[in-house]
Chains A and B, each alone.
Chain A
Amino acid sequence: MAWETVIGLEIHAQLATKSKIFSGASTAFGAEPNTQACAVDLGLPGVLPVLNREAVNMALRFGVAIGAEIAPYNVFARKNYFYPDLPKGYQISQMELPIVGSGHLEIELEDGSSKTVGVTRAHLEEDAGKSLHEDYQGMTGIDLNRAGTPLLEIVSEPDMRSAKEAIAYMKKIHALVRYLGICDGNMQEGSFRCDANVSVRPVGQAEYGTRAELKNINSFRFVERAINLEVERQIDVIESGGSVVQETRLYDSDKHETRSMRSKEEANDYRYFPDPDLLPVAISEADIEAARATLPELPDEKKKRFVSEFGLSDYDAGVLTAELEVATYFEVVAQECGDAKLASNWVSSDLSGALHKSGIEFSDCPVDAVRLGGVLKRVVDNTISGKIAKQVFDEMWNNDADADTIIEQKGLKQITDTGALEAMVDDVLAANADQVEQYRAGKTKVLGFFVGQVMKASKGKANPGQINQLFKQKLDS
């Protein structure tokens, strides 16, 4: 039987506020345990939450960016359950009236087509702390630094039909929250996390199959693997005569398996009710307009502009705009060198290859956009060849010098003196009579060999195009 996969994602984006959503404690990552938890975060008797308006503003920016409905009021509710890293015995979240209502966004599929994915809602909530099970001799340590950190939980419609689509959606949200400056997107530190609701159904069936929820899959790669694994598991279960149970499953990346955490029957009754300590949050038209006014150019718009303004392909523009930092970097390089296509190639292949090879994040790139632009400018004006440009770039990787200084110091300027080049061409022809014969016999491919010889002799400083011309003139005359 042919099966169709149905996926919906719940993404938790940690909002980049300086202080927590309901207290004044810092949200910075990595401090000593429990040093960033004040009386409110500890859930001491008598303390009260006070809403951080910046978290509301950030959620509004997200809502406006996905064209979502924004209700005039949203309400915080208590989600009641016991866990040692949940200090109050309830999490302040939103249930019936979330801040962001239904919206949508476009994702690009591998075949180049695009697809609209619905966002059901996005709501504000506080994060819990962390339970630390190691190093306590059978006891559990609790670190409440993270407790009260603001999260935006973004819930999609079950619109994705493959793990690839799920990844495309997740990456799109990732890019969006980073463009909006509302989340740093750091998946290692848990600032951007994802749960996936996965089910399968026979192709053509209208009803959804029973779903399993995969918890906390913390990299794009794991999301894809976990979903594919779960799809296989569900199909196996059904095809061997069983049925899928509604449950929460945990993906174990070491063992590469998903396993049951709890079934529907074991699920908590969270006893949601409006939090009487917090007033309903009023959102005016003016608030929405203010949020709209602060929106930066978003990935889709930027991509369109890169295509129309720089003549890039859809694909290249898509790669460059996936991350705001990359897009901004590219624009500076293109501006500096005056050749957007050249800039695009360099940013998306040479530069990202070099970063990947040395395991450096884009934000820590040792060559800034102005310096890279400076190198490419010299390619554009024929001062150096593309090959020499790579040499200059490698040089820059390890020091702070600009392109012109390196070219000057290393004597890398291209040889443009036709007389000197002709002499080299003649030398090569004289020394390689056999190949000249072959060329004349129609094996024109040896031209590459001749050019290579001159490049070698000139230590790369000859202009390959010019040499090519010279050879052709001499051999074809």
Chain B
Amino acid sequence: MHNKTIAELSAGLSAGEFSSVELTEACIQRISTLAGRSNCFITQTPERALEDAKHADQRRATGDFGPLTGIPIAHKDIFCTQGIRSSCASKMLDSFVSPYESTVSAKLKAAGTVLLGKTNMDEFAMGSSNETSFYGPVRNPWNHDVVPGGSSGGSAACVAARLASAATGTDTGGSIRQPAALCGITGLKPTYGRVSRYGMIAFASSLDQAGPMTRTAQDAAMMLQAMAGFDERDSTSVDVGVPDYSANLADSIDGLTIGLPREYFAEGLDSGVGDVLEQALETLRKLGATTVDIDLPNTSLAVPAYYVVAPAECSSNLSRMDGVRFGYRCEDPVDLEDLYKRSRGEGFGEEVKRRIMIGTYALSAGYYDAYYLKAQRVRRLISDDFTRAFDQVDVIMGPTAPSVAFALGSKTDDPIGMYLSDIYTIAVNLAGLPAMSVPCGFADELPVGLQIIGKPFEESRLLNVAHQFQQATDWHQRAPQEYL
């Protein structure tokens, strides 16, 4: 049962082949024996899952259901879930049981999904290897000695290990796509504003976007259908209609024009990854697509601009973690300043502190223009690059990450090297565009992801292209040996 996609499980539930309770029990069983290997969960919620499942079966019995009713999923621990610890993988929020529900988790709950638990992640979503978690690193199900990517590493690992049919993720600079690539699953970062950020613990507000992490594009379409939409509680969510994301999955991609940025296939890209990508592009050409080389000339500015904007916003967003109202508070503070300094000093991990420091510096009087304002101007240039490129092409493709998953610990002392693992994903966040990563082969026995970038609000087209690619390949069906 665990090898079935959401589409298959949904059909099985509808046909009465099994109940949601049976399906959920099987998932709980697998999680209890296998989750520890990758450390992909922070909190397991088996009791809640069985309640959800019973309720889903009742809904299916009364005819009040949708395609996701009864489907077991997991949430990245960045989403506030009422009555359940919502830690963001930080010591700071280890004791934080959210009194309210995020919009994303509320919508998926209303759709009838079953919550299996909250997945591990980089602390406050800051990281590209899932090694900054207070709850310990996540291991890649394909090889337990390598990282799963980050920050949504727990979600990627739990889907790759077939412990949940889907998981939610968030993507600020690649945090859905890069772990999806490294774990061999399908991940979609929607257009900024497509999915509500309400109740999603903020890292960098102008970049954060939630999306689905699934095994197939078809499943991603079903998940996004439930997640997307305007939310009056998020002023940056956009009030445009939500199309039927499954409607044109089957459309031919004959005639599709794919742009290949020269900058994405240049120095820095692992040759094994490059070879796999070339084969994937060949597959797409066989399906009728044409590829053209394009330029995104400001690509090299994306990482530096991102590492000003994102830390600047996070330095302010994380100020509320002050030990006063919720979360970690140091022992016996002697005065207010001591309370602040020790609560934050002891509650935050190293990478979070590093970014708060960078961001605070970038926003300081005398430096604001040189860093923050300049980074915002660069952001505009990067966005303009994409706008020009999309005059010529329908989608842009390239690698999701420069290499396959790297060894645990290999980059923890090299923040710049770590930051460069998001070199192909970051520009998309700065421009607010939708993008996917789909499995497209293996290098060094580890999965490689193909990144597909689209025009604003063209998630349907991305899903269509990804689905057609998956109809022609079976990379998305491969499972790590230990989790078959």
Contact = CB atoms under 8 A, between A and B. Distances in A.
Contacts of B320: 43-45, 87-89
B99 A44 contact: yes
B368 A47 contact: no
Interface string B363-380: 111001000100000000
Interface in A32-49: 39, 42-49
Interface in A43-58: 43-51
A279 interface: yes
B100 A44 contact: yes
Nearest to A144: B325
Nearest to B337: A82
A84 B336 CA distance: 8
A276 B86 contact: no
A475 B197 CA distance: 95
Interface in B326-340: 326, 336, 340
B319 to A, nearest CB: 2
B8 to A, nearest CB: 33
B316 A46 contact: no
Nearest to B234: A48
Contact of A279 (B93, B202, B236): B236
B364 A271 contact: yes
A254 interface: no
Interface string B87-124: 01000010010111010000000000000000000000
Contacts of A48: 197-198, 233-236
Interface in B344-391: 360, 363-365, 368, 372
How big is the B interface, by class?
A: 35 or more
A178 to B, nearest CB: 31
Nearest to A88: B320
A44 B235 contact: no
A50 B88 contact: no
Contact of B102 (A46, A51, A271, A279): A46
A279 B205 CA distance: 12
B235 A88 contact: no
B316 A39 contact: no
A277 B336 CA distance: 29
A43 B100 CA distance: 12
A450 B434 CA distance: 99
A278 interface: yes
7 contacts: A39-B99, A46-B79, A46-B198, A46-B202, A80-B319, A84-B322, A90-B319
Interface of B: 79-80, 86, 88, 93, 96, 98-100, 102, 197-202, 204-206, 232-236, 312-313, 315-316, 318-322, 324-326, 336, 340, 360, 363-365, 368, 372
Q: Which 5 A-B pairs have the closest CB atoms?
A: A89-B319, A271-B363, A276-B206, A276-B205, A45-B201
Given A43-B320, A46-B79, A276-B205, 16 more contacts: A45-B86, A46-B86, A46-B98, A46-B199, A46-B200, A46-B202, A48-B197, A51-B235, A80-B316, A82-B322, A84-B324, A89-B320, A142-B325, A271-B315, A271-B365, A273-B368
